[in-house]
Amino acid sequence: MEDVQAKRILCIEDDVDMLDLFRVLLTRHGYIVRGVTKGQEGLDVIRREKPDLVILDIMMPVMDGWQVYQQMKDDEATRNIPTIVVTAKSQLIDKVLGLEIAKVDDYIGKPFSPQELLDSITKVLKLKV
Q: Supply the CATH number for residue 15's domain.
A: 3.40.50.2300
Residue 79 has pLDDT above 70, yes or no: yes
The arithmetic mean of pLDDT across residues 26-32, rounded, is 94
**Is residue 52 included in any domain, yes or no?**
yes
Radius of gyration of the chain, Cα coordinates, nearest whole angstrom: 13
Identify the CA nearest to 114 among candidates 23, 32, 3, 13.
23
In a domain, residue 77? The reply is: yes
Q: How many domains does the chain have?
A: 1
Please say whether the beta carbons of 22 and 47 come within 8 A.
no
Measured distance CA(71)–CA(87) in Å, rounded: 19
38 falls within a domain: yes
Whether the model pTM is above 0.85: yes
% residues pLDDT > 90 (the chain): 67
Query: What span, in angstroms and rounded, lies between the C-alpha atoms of 68 and 95?
Result: 17
pLDDT for 94:
63
pLDDT, mean over the chain:
88
On whether residue 129 sits in a domain, the answer given is no
The boundaries of the domain holding residue 38 are: 4-124
What span, in angstroms and rounded, lies between the C-alpha atoms of 102 and 64? 14
Count each helix (H run) and each strand (E run) in the chain, helices first: 5, 5
The band of 87, judged by pLDDT with boundaries at 50, 70 and 90, is confident
For the cut 90, the answer to whether the pLDDT of residue 38 exceeds it is yes
